[in-house]
Structure formats: structure tokens, C-alpha cells
């Protein structure tokens, strides 16, 4: 038996001016199920709330409708009010007669009629509202961090320093990521090896961090607080427990293939470590190029290994980890030069990308910081940088700005001028975007002190002319055509998400945009969370960004993980789907339609089962259910029908 | 016929269109009072049966509002609704129940003005169209 109380708020004059609140309360007091109806000037004020509490107790109400502003304003307020006197908060409903009635209509008679109908429909809904209890789920206070670049390193250290265990998964044999490839970092010109390697060592030695290098996430199941992660540990053919990292095997290996860490500028061996400061500093055998693994002979590394660590029989293994939160920090790649036909489609050796230039300028790189061009090893005297290659080009490639190019081009041109003082650097740009702290000053310094020549315009074509690269461009500020015979050209290629991120996003059930950048829950207000609960985003995987922004976001994601772990149980909104097993025919429509994989079909009973901790409560399955077995808690079909009837009758 | 005031039942998704309708209120944009809003969590939860029910019970129009494409709070509920409505429209056409009485509009939280404009246009359109023919059957 319903004992409903209706409380009509005047909201000062906001409602009372257009809706006859007195009349509204009078009409509603006779409505079936209603035992009490009143009006008051400010329901949300303390006296207003006290009145609701008193009447709930006095009239023994089992449901409350407050006719007031939008539920987004005060639903929580009034639900807490009724909960404080022992009524289930889900037995309190808001009838929105301000934003969607009194504020948008002027005629008092019409607005009052509409308000009456809105309140009646809300009463009909309330009559069938269930007393719901938020679900509580336990939390595994361990985090998984995917990606061991600077974002993953920072997030792992922050979480581990807060006292929670971290599993850090990195697909390469060492953590460090792209940052370790860089020459210097703008705008302070710190050497990344100097500032990042101590952090890498900390990760390697941290008692709370379990580092799984040369591993990839294979499968994720579960939900926020309770994920189960299957991780593939790729066969390295080296027993890392035995390996002492002496490097003799690398020395003896006869195979030479282009080194990915050095952006294919020089060769590496088939057994190799990424770079000298690698963490963990253990080699792996590249099975695609190892002579023994491809042709069945050689074994030079095995013969020379004093620790007997080489194991050609090693297979991929799998480990399972239980974690409560996942930080995705998979980073970026550069767009492939081959995609840009007008700039040589990657065929000219002396047309290189930004990361290759970083390696050439890096004191620990293949040319020890003095750029020698890849074709013949000459030191380039005329060097052209082209910005926005592939970025800000919606017609052909990517519409977005890659954010870091303006700054790294100044830096590279500066470093180049420092080591080749008689050289000339030209930069073709569309706009210069140096919007960080100390960035603009850095640019001005490059232009004034290092005499970098900035030309505003695009380059239409690059082609080989003897041992030079001919650059045809335009200077739109002077309106002239420009032709430069360059020794080397650096393309600031668009920043794109790292390879494989779309498949990973699918495995994790998180969303990525058209380009593969992971989508944040809200671009402004929830920038480090994914829409799927329990997933957090850090670094360039979410969008192009520079190191300070990456570190800030990683720390933000880590603190979100910490605040999740600071709770002992998680409460989950109970407005979710539930199945009436008596009615369910097991067709599986709901399983297909669920965007969260929250429903499974029990193969034995042939009934759908909702995982209440994963269900986000959208109701799509309920609309897809042909039998009516799937119902949305407190948005049931019958409730909607009754509301429609209250309006249309 | 001149004083025909259509009754329009609206299903507004909680995250975008309902909030957009609230924004219209906050901005005090006036629009015809014919809409009767029902808040649902997602436009993707709108069962075609709701629309049929509303039409069979005599509503002159049904409005469904969802998040803009790509912005659905629940990943892709708005697309699910769009597909269902497309199918439903073709069925309604066959039944002679007026597929043009169903209006779908993407309205984001900030788009109070678009919500209000849609309400004005829809109300005028349904007025032009006349009452839901189903109402005649009751009087036969």
C-alpha cells in the first residue's frame, strides 16, 4: 500500500510565479496513493528538509515526491533527507517543475496543468520504485600499469610509493620508452638519460613494483576493483635469472640488423639489449633474425655465455595477476614517412623523422651528438626542418596538432647549431605553438641567438638533386617561392598512438577515438579516467603531449588509483539491469547489445546473467529484450507505461 | 481544429537531452508547453514498445532525445536507438499509424536553444498534422 507524500517547492518565485503551487498541492492531495501534499517556499532549505523528515515520520510515508528543480540539482539532497529518517533513498523522486516547466512557460494556467501532470507521472513511477541498496564490491588493492615509458614509470612509482603493489608490463625488454631516445629535453635542455634513468632504477628496485618486461597483456576480465589479467611473457631465449648482463653474447653474435632503438640508423645484433642503461639490463634474442632460430646453426652466444643463460627452448609463458585498477600508458609512435609521397615516401636516406634526428643529436647516440647524415656520413651544412607533416591536415592525414613538434624542432635546430656552428637551419612552419612555461623564451632564444631561420609556409615537394635534397617551398609572409638545396631534411611527423593500441583497447573494453587515442571520461573534468570504471589513462596514449604534461597526467592517474584503493569496498549505483529468470528464454539479444560485456548467457541454465558490478545501467538490454525478462531497476517497462498513461490519459 | 493542442511524450536521455532541456530552462528560453518529458538513463533504453504504447494511448507525437553521435554516455546507446526507431518507423508506416509523429534529435547538455527550437518546430508540425488518428477509433 502506497503512502506517498508530495512536497511542492516555490523556489522563491522561480516556480510559484508561473505555477500555482497551492492549487498543485491541492489537486495532488486527492491523487490515489497520496496521503499528504503540501507546499513550501524553499524545500531545499533546512526548515524545508526538516518538514519533510517530520512528515515522513508522522504520516509513516513510504515514498516521497519533491516537485522542485531538476534532479541534477537536488535529487541527492532529498534522497539523503529521506534516508536520514529511515526511508530508502530510492523511494524519493523528483518532479522537475522548474527547468522544464515554470522557467520555460509564461501562462500560469497552462504551466500549472503541465506541472500537475509531471507530478502525477512521477507519482506513478514512484509507486513501482523498488527500495534499492547500493551494491558493494571488494577491491583488490593492486594496480596494473601497461607501458613502461615515462608515463608508466611515473604512475608506477607514485602508486608504489603510496604503499600499493604495482605490476608494470612493458612490451620491450627495457622500460624507458621514447624519452630515453631523446637527445635533450626542452626547454631546459636536461639530458633525458640523466633525469629518467634514476627513475628507471627506482622502478627496478622498488619492493612494491613487479616489473614484467618483454611482456604483453593478453586478456583482461573482471571489473573495477576485481580485474583478472593474463600476461604473456614473451620468450627471450635468455634465462634472465642466470644472466649477469656481461654482454659477451652480444659481442659474439654475428648477425647485424637495423636497431629499432636507434630508429634504424645503425645496426644491432640479433641478441641485444635496448641501450646501455636498460632496466632490466638483460638481452633478448630476436627470433626473426637469430641464425640458430631461423637456419639452425650458429649458437655463438650459447657457446660464449659463461653463466649458461642462453636457452633456445624457451617458450612464451603466461602469468595471471589480480588487480583492482589499470593504468594504460601505451604512449605514441611517429607516423610513417612512407605515407607522405610528396616528401619522398621514405625513400631518401637523408630525409629523416624527428626521432631519428634525436638519435643523431644524442651524445650517447650512434653519432655521439654530432649529426652525420645517413647516406654518406657527411655533416650537413644546410638542414631543413618541416613542421606539421601529417598533422593539421584534415584533407589528407590527421586533423589534430601533434603538440610537441614546434618545441622539439627549435631544440633540435639549436643543438645542431651548437655542434655545427657554420651550418644553417631552416624551419618551415604553419604556426608556432609554444604555449608552455619557458617555451616562448626558448623559441626566441633559438631565433635570435642561434639564427634559426623560420619560414612561414608549406613545402610542396622534396626531391633528390645529386647528393642534395631539393626543397621547394613558399614563404607566405613575403609571398615568394623558396628553393633550398639541403644536405638533410627533418620531418616533424605526426604523433600517432603506439602500434596495437586499438586491439589493446578492445581487450580492455575501453574506448579510443578515430585515430586510436584513448578516450577520457570527460575532456575537462575527468581527464585521467577512462569511461570504463577502473581504467585510468596516462601520457601520449590519450593524446599527443610533452614530458611535463605526461608526468602530470601520470601522477594524476596514480592519485586516482590511490583514492580508489583508499576505500575498503566500492559502492555501485543499483540502477542497473536485472533478469527475471522465470521469463528469460535465453535468446542472448542482451549479451550482444551490452556495451560493457556485463551480461553472459549461462550455458547450463540458458538464462542471461547480469554482472551487477560491471553493469553501468544504461538499459539498452532492456529495450532489446523481447520477453521483458530484462528490466531496468526503477525504470521498468511498466513504470514507463504508467508514466505515459499519466500524461496521455 | 484551431485550438488543437497536441500532446507530445518525450523520452530524454539523462546525460544530454534532459540536461539540455534543463539548460533551456536555465536560459529561460520559452517553448510550447506540449512536451511531457520522461527521463530515461539512455536513449538506447527506449523500447519501441514505449513509442507504440504512447501512440496507441493517444499521444499525438513522440520525441526521443539522445546524446550527439559519438558522445553517448554509454558508448553507443544513441545509435542503438536510431536503428530501432528506423525499423519502427517502417512498421508504423505499414500500419498507417504515422511514422512522422516520431521525432529524434541529438541534443547535448549545452544545447538548450536547440531543444527549445525542436519543441517549437515539432509542436507546430504536429498541430499541422492534426490529432493522432487512433483517438478517432475510440469514438467509432
User: Would you call A288 exposed, middle or buried from its count of C-beta atoms within 10 A (0-12, 13-18, 19+)?
Assistant: exposed
- Cβ-based neighbours of A506, under 8 Å, separated by 6 or more: none
- Cβ-based neighbours of A605, under 8 Å, separated by 6 or more: A581, A586
Query: Which pLDDT band holds residue B2 (cuts at 50, 70, 90)?
Result: low
How close B126 gets to chain A, by Cα (Å)? Answer: 15
Mutation test of the interface with chain A: which of B24, B44, B66, choosing the one with the most A Cβ atoms within 10 A? B44
Q: How many CB pairs under 8 A join A and B?
A: 125
Give yes or no for B39 touching A (CB within 8 A).
yes
| Domains in chain A with CATH codes | 4-127 (3.40.50), 142-234+316-331+504-565 (3.50.50.60), 248-304 (no CATH), 335-496 (3.50.50.60), 573-633 (3.30.70.20)
Residue whose C-alpha is closest to residue B84's, from A621, A648, A633: A621
The reported pLDDT for the residue numbered A402 is 93
DSSP codes of every residue in A56-116: HHHTT-SEEEEEES-HHHHHHHHHHHHHHTT--GGGEEEEE-IIIIITT---HHHHHHHHH
Distance separating alpha carbons of residues B121 and B100, to the nearest angstrom: 13
The answer to whether residues A620 and A612 touch, using CB atoms and an 8 Å cutoff, is: no
Residue A168 CB-half CA count within 13 A = 37
- Closest-CA residue of chain A to B59: A648
CA-based diameter of chain A, in Å? 97
Select from B30, B33, B74 the Cβ nearest to the Cβ of A595.
B74
The answer to whether residues A351 and A560 touch, using CB atoms and an 8 Å cutoff, is: no
Rounded CA Rg of chain A: 32
**Mean pLDDT score, A137-161:** 94
**Mean pLDDT score, A498-503:** 90
**Mean pLDDT score, B59-84:** 91
- Closest-CA residue of chain B to A105: B30
> Residue A290, SS3?
coil
User: Would you call A15 exposed, middle or buried from its count of C-beta atoms within 10 A (0-12, 13-18, 19+)?
Assistant: buried
User: Would you call B80 exposed, middle or buried from its count of C-beta atoms within 10 A (0-12, 13-18, 19+)?
Assistant: buried
Distance separating alpha carbons of residues A542 and A519, to the nearest angstrom: 6
> Residue A230, SS3?
strand
Q: Determine whether the interchain pair B30/A104 forms a contact, defined as Cβ–Cβ distance below 8 Å.
A: yes
What are φ and ψ of residue B89, in 5° steps? -60, -45
Asked whether the CA dihedral A425, A430, A431, A436 is positive or negative, the reply is negative
User: Domain B8-133 belongs to what architecture?
Assistant: 3-Layer(aba) Sandwich (3.40)
The answer to whether residues A143 and A166 touch, using CB atoms and an 8 Å cutoff, is: yes
Model confidence at A613: pLDDT above 90: no
The answer to whether residues B76 and B66 touch, using CB atoms and an 8 Å cutoff, is: no
> Residue A476, SS3?
coil
Model confidence at B139: pLDDT above 70: no
Give yes or no for A635 touching B (CB within 8 A).
yes
The reported pLDDT for the residue numbered A514 is 83
Mutation test of the interface with chain B: which of A100, A518, A529, choosing the one with the most B Cβ atoms within 10 A? A100
Number of alpha helices (DSSP H) and beta strands (DSSP E) in chain B:
5, 4
Per-residue pLDDT reduced to its tens digit, A56-92: 999 999 999 999 999 989 999 999 999 999 999 999 9
How close A86 gets to chain B, by Cα (Å)? Answer: 26
> Residue A417, SS3?
helix
Which residues of chain A make contact with B50, given a CB cutoff of 8 A?
637, 640-641, 644
Give yes or no for B68 touching A (CB within 8 A).
no
C-alpha cell at A466: 645529386
Select from A106, A623, A648 the Cβ nearest to the Cβ of B7.
A648
Q: Determine whether the interchain pair A595/B76 forms a contact, defined as Cβ–Cβ distance below 8 Å.
A: yes
Per-residue pLDDT reduced to its tens digit, A347-404: 899 999 999 999 999 998 888 889 999 999 899 999 999 999 999 999 989 999 999 9
Q: Determine whether the interchain pair B22/A99 forms a contact, defined as Cβ–Cβ distance below 8 Å.
A: yes
Q: Determine whether the interchain pair A100/B22 forms a contact, defined as Cβ–Cβ distance below 8 Å.
A: yes
**Mean pLDDT score, A330-351:** 90
Select from B29, B49, B74 the Cβ nearest to the Cβ of A637.
B49
Domain ranges of chain B: 8-133
Q: How many residues does chain B have?
A: 140
> Residue A445, SS3?
helix
Distance separating alpha carbons of residues A65 and B139, to the nearest angstrom: 36
Give yes or no for B101 touching A (CB within 8 A).
no
The answer to whether residues A212 and A168 touch, using CB atoms and an 8 Å cutoff, is: yes
Residue A310 is classified by DSSP as B
Q: Determine whether the interchain pair A624/B80 forms a contact, defined as Cβ–Cβ distance below 8 Å.
A: yes
Distance separating alpha carbons of residues A31 and A515, to the nearest angstrom: 55
Distance separating alpha carbons of residues B25 and B113, to the nearest angstrom: 10
- Closest-CA residue of chain B to A623: B47
Give yes or no for A632 touching B (CB within 8 A).
yes
The reported pLDDT for the residue numbered B140 is 60
- Closest-CA residue of chain B to A99: B25
Give yes or no for B29 touching A (CB within 8 A).
yes
Which residues of chain B make contact with A619, given a CB cutoff of 8 A?
40-42, 44-45, 77
The answer to whether residues A66 and A52 touch, using CB atoms and an 8 Å cutoff, is: yes
Which residues of chain A make contact with B25, given a CB cutoff of 8 A?
70, 98-100, 103-104
**Mean pLDDT score, B70-84:** 89
Tell me how crowded residue A13 is: count the other CB atoms within 10 A of its CB: 10
Q: Tell me: ipTM over 0.90.
A: yes
The reported pLDDT for the residue numbered A509 is 80
Which residues 7-26 of chain B have a CB within 8 Å of chain A? 7, 9, 18-19, 21-26
How close B10 gets to chain A, by Cα (Å)? Answer: 9
The reported pLDDT for the residue numbered A620 is 95
Model confidence at A597: pLDDT above 90: no
> Residue A362, SS3?
coil
Which residues of chain A make contact with B77, given a CB cutoff of 8 A?
595, 618-620
The answer to whether residues A593 and A599 touch, using CB atoms and an 8 Å cutoff, is: no
Average confidence score pLDDT of chain A: 92
Number of alpha helices (DSSP H) and beta strands (DSSP E) in chain A:
17, 34
Q: Determine whether the interchain pair B48/A623 forms a contact, defined as Cβ–Cβ distance below 8 Å.
A: yes
Degrees, nearest 5: CA angle B137-B53-B136: 15
Q: Determine whether the interchain pair A103/B28 forms a contact, defined as Cβ–Cβ distance below 8 Å.
A: yes
Q: Determine whether the interchain pair B36/A98 forms a contact, defined as Cβ–Cβ distance below 8 Å.
A: no
Mutation test of the interface with chain B: which of A110, A623, A635, A639, choosing the one with the most B Cβ atoms within 10 A? A623
Amino acid at each position: 500500500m502506497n503512502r506517498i507524500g508530495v512536497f511542492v517547492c516555490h523556489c522563491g518565485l522561480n516556480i510559484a510565479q508561473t505555477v500555482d503551487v497551492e492549487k498543485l498541492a491541492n489537486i495532488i492531495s486527492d491523487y490515489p496513493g497520496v496521503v499528504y501534499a503540501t507546499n513550501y517556499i524553499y524545500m531545499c532549505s533546512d526548515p524545508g528538509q526538516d518538514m519533510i523528515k517530520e512528515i515522513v515520520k508522522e504520516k509513516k510515508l513510504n515514498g516521497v515526491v519533491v516537485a522542485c528543480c531538476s534532479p541534477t540539482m537536488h535529487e541527492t539532497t532529498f534522497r539523503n533527507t529521506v534516508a536520514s529518517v529511515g526511508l530508502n533513498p530510492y523511494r524519493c523522486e523528483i518532479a522537475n517543475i522548474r527547468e522544464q516547466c515554470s522557467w520555460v512557460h509564461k501562462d500560469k494556467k497552462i504551466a500549472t496543468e503541465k506541472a500537475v501532470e509531471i507530478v502525477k507521472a512521477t507519482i506513478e513511477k514512484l509507486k513501482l520504485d523498488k527500495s534499492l541498496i547500493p551494491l558493494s564490491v571488494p577491491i583488490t588493492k593492486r594496480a596494473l600499469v601497461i607501458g613502461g615509458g615515462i608515463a608508466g614509470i611515473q604512475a608506477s612509482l607514485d602508486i608504489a610509493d603510496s604503499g600499493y603493489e604495482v605490476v608494470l608490463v612493458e612490451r620491450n625488454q627495457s622500460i624507458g620508452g621514447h624519452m630515453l631516445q631523446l637527445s635533450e629535453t626542452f626547454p631546459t635542455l636536461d639530458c633525458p638519460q640523466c633525469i629518467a634513468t634514476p627513475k628507471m632504477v627506482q622502478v627496478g628496485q622498488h619492493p612494491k613494483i613487479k616489473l614484467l618486461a618483454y611482456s604483453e597483456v593478453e586478456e583482461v576480465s573482471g571489473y573495477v576493483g576485481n580485474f583478472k589479467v593474463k600476461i604473456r611473457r614473451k620468450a627471450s631465449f635468455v634465462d634472465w635469472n642466470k644472466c649477469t648482463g656481461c654482454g659477451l653474447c652480444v659481442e659474439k653474435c654475428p648477425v647485424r640488423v637495423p636497431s629499432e632503438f636507434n630508429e634504424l640508423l645503425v645496426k644491432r645484433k640479433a641478441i641485444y639489449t635496448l641501450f646501455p642503461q636498460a632496466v632490466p639490463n638483460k638481452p633478448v634474442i630476436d627470433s626473426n633474425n637469430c641464425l640458430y632460430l631461423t637456419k639452425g646453426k650458429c649458437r655463438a652466444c650459447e657457446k660464449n655465455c659463461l653463466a649458461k643463460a642462453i636457452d633456445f627452448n624457451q617458450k612464451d609463458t603466461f602469468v595471471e595477476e589480480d588487480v583492482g585498477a589499470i593504468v594504460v600508458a601505451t604512449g605514441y609512435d611517429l607516423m610513417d614517412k612512407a605515407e607522405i609521397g610528396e616528401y619522398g615516401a621514405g625513400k631518401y636516406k637523408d630525409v629523416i623523422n624527428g626521432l631519428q634526428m634525436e638519435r643523431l643529436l644524442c651524445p650517447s647516440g650512434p653519432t655521439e651528438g654530432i649529426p652525420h647524415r645517413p647516406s654518406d656520413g657527411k655533416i650537413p651544412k644546410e638542414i631543413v626542418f618541416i613542421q606539421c607533416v601529417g598533422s593539421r591536415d584534415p584533407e589528407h592525414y590527421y586533423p589534430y596538432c601533434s603538440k610537441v613538434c614546434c618545441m622539439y624542432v627549435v631544440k633540435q635546430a639549436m643543438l645542431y647549431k651548437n655542434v655545427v656552428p657554420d651550418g644553417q637551419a631552416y624551419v618551415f612552419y604553419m604556426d608556432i605553438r609554444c604555449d608552455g612555461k619557458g617555451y616562448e623564451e626558448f623559441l626566441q632564444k633559438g631565433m635570435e641567438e642561434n639564427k634559426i631561420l623560420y619560414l612561414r609556409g608549406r613545402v610542396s615537394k622534396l626531391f633528390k638533386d645529386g647528393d642534395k635534397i631539393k626543397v621547394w617551398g613558399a614563404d607566405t609572409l613575403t609571398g615568394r617561392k623558396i628553393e633550398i638545396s639541403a644536405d638533410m631534411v627533418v620531418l616533424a611527423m605526426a604523433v600517432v598512438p603506439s602500434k596495437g593500441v586499438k586491439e589493446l583497447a578492445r581487450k580492455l573494453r575501453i574506448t579510443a577515438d578515430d585515430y586510436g587515442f584513448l578516450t577520457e571520461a570527460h575532456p575537462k573534468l575527468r581527464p585521467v579516467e577512462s569511461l570504463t570504471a577502473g581504467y585510468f589513462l596516462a601520457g601520449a596514449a590519450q593524446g599527443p603531449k610533452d614530458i611535463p604534461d605526461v608526468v602530470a597526467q601520470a601522477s594524476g592517474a596514480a592519485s586516482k588509483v590511490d583514492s580508489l584503493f583508499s576505500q575498503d569496498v566500492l559502492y555501485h549505483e543499483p540502477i542497473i539491469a536485472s533478469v527475471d529468470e522465470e521469463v528469460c528464454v535465453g535468446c542472448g539479444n542482451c549479451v550482444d547489445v551490452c556495451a560493457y560485456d556485463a551480461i553472459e548467457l549461462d550455458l547450463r541454465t540458458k538464462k542471461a546473467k547480469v554482472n551487477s558490478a560491471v553493469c553501468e545501467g544504461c538499459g539498452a538490454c532492456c529495450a532489446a529484450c523481447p520477453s521483458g525478462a530484462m528490466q531496468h531497476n526503477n525504470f521498468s517497462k511498466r513504470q514507463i507505461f504508467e508514466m505515459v498513461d499519466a500524461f496521455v490519459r | 481544429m484551431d485550438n488543437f493542442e497536441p500532446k507530445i511524450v518525450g523520452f530524454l536521455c539523462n546525460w544530454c537531452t534532459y540536461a539540455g532541456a534543463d539548460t533551456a530552462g536555465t536560459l529561460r528560453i520559452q517553448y510550447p508547453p506540449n512536451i511531457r518529458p520522461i527521463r530515461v538513463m539512455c536513449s538506447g533504453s527506449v523500447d519501441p514498445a514505449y513509442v507504440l504504447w504512447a501512440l496507441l494511448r493517444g499521444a499525438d507525437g513522440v520525441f526521443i532525445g539522445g546524446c550527439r553521435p559519438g558522445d553517448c554516455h554509454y558508448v553507443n546507446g544513441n545509435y542503438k536507438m536510431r536503428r530501432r526507431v528506423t525499423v519502427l518507423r517502417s512498421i508504423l508506416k505499414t500500419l498507417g499509424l504515422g511514422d512522422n509523429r516520431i521525432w529524434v534529435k541529438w541534443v547535448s547538455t549545452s544545447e538548450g536553444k536547440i531543444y527549445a527550437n525542436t519543441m517549437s518546430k515539432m509542436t507546430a508540425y504536429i498541430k499541422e498534422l492534426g490529432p493522432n488518428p487512433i483517438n478517432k477509433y475510440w469514438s467509432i
